[in-house]
Amino acid sequence: MTGQPPSTADQRPLRIALLSYRGDPFCGGQGVYVRHLSRELARLGHHVDVIGAQPFPVLDEVEGPGSVRLVELPSLDLYRADDPFRTPAATELRGLVDALEVATMWTGGFPEPLTFSLRARQYLAAHRGRYDVVHDNQTLGYGLLGLARHGFPLVTTIHHPVTEDRRLELAAATTRLRRLSLRRWYAFTRMQRRVAARLDQIITVSGSSKAGIVEQLGAAPGAVSVVPIGADTRLWSPSEAVEVVPGRIVTTSSADVPLKGLVHLVEALAKVRTEREAHLVVVCKKQGQGPVADAVRRFDLERHIEFRTGLSDEELVDLYRSAEVACVPSLYEGFSLPAAEAMATGTPLVATTGGAIPEVAGPDQESCLAVPPGDAGALASALGRLLDDAELRARLGSAGRARVLAHFTWERAAELTAERYRAAIATGVGQRARAGAGWRYVV
């Protein structure tokens, strides 16, 4: 990338700064988004700098006219897997932003959206003229509000309002101390509401998410564009070479939190097993304690549930190909990448109607079996029905893949995202609060 002034020519390749405060695809959907979107933007000929903090994004090599490059913008990495909530040495502190990061963590808050946004603003201010547009991947930190002053049009992706995660976790909390802890942890959502309400170019992934962003974050309806994401259909595809394992159910869960609904799937498996053999493979790190671990022990399912992590892309795809049924038991999703990816392999799907899942999975009986969220009995009934009916599995599997190919591919997502970039550049839009004045953050 050069330091020449940005171009707004309609068809000229763009120079894109793609920000992601957590970019590892194994940490959740935001990392998957960065990986696949950056690759497809580069295949369109654009030049993408993915600017991220730990755990750093995993990016794909791209052949062709475009490029993808990782720019590391390190945090203090206070939540690293091998030493979570660590106290850094004094020699690690590089300035006020680092001090803010530590102080927020010490007082029970989650600092990364704010502190990453402040570091990103510092980096971008030092690299004026390098980028045509800045694309924020749900940081929604105060540091972004000053970018227009430095000449950067800003486009922001909000996958779904994190206020929904907060609501579900508070509803599941059983003690006053737990509720107080959650309110402190989710204090950053106040900042995200203030920032979202000032943005003029927001991308989200579903109609359900758009409604939530407008209602819960105060964004202007006209500022929010829906750009569905999807599956890498070259990778996620059917294969007769992979043997289907009888009774195998597969699900992906990024964490043991109420939003993901895994505890209801565990209960459903217990019900399914009263009438037939079945076992569950969960793509997630096994937790020794928590609601899911408690449910596994309560229903005596230790020998019938397997947790897998560290899978390569190919191993993960083959795991889904080997399943008789895939399941998305979430209480809420802003999109549901696991649903799209499972359907792309031709594996029949049981999914809840939580959030945007029906927009992805499609109508009940046509491309999936749909059940109400949080209903273990309905989950068990649908899973049992599919396990017992090979013809239904074949029909839903075929229809599911056709739906993904028609509506949910990363190629199409990249094309539509690039259109939003050009709209932001053409209008000179970054955000209405150009100087970012008037904000404050209380640790």
Each domain of the chain, given as residue ranges in start order, spans: 15-230+410-429, 248-408
pLDDT, tens only, 371-415: 999 999 999 999 999 999 999 999 999 999 999 999 999 999 999
Q: Please, what is the average pLDDT of the chain?
A: 93
23 pLDDT tier (thresholds 50, 70, 90): confident
Residue range 15-230+410-429 in CATH 3.40.50.2000: yes
Type of residue at 366:
E
Question: Is there a shared CATH topology between the 15-230+410-429 domain and the 248-408 domain?
Answer: yes
Query: Omega before 55 cis (within 30°)?
Result: yes
398 exposed, middle or buried (CB, 10 Å; 0-12, 13-18, 19+)?
middle
CA distance 12 to 425: 12
Pick the CATH number of 248-408 from 3.40.50.2000, 3.40.190.10, 3.40.50.150, 1.10.10.10: 3.40.50.2000
Res 1 pLDDT > 60? no
305, 266 in Cβ contact below 8 A?
A: yes
pTM for this prediction = 0.92
- Average pLDDT estimate for 79-97: 95
76 exposed, middle or buried (CB, 10 Å; 0-12, 13-18, 19+)?
buried
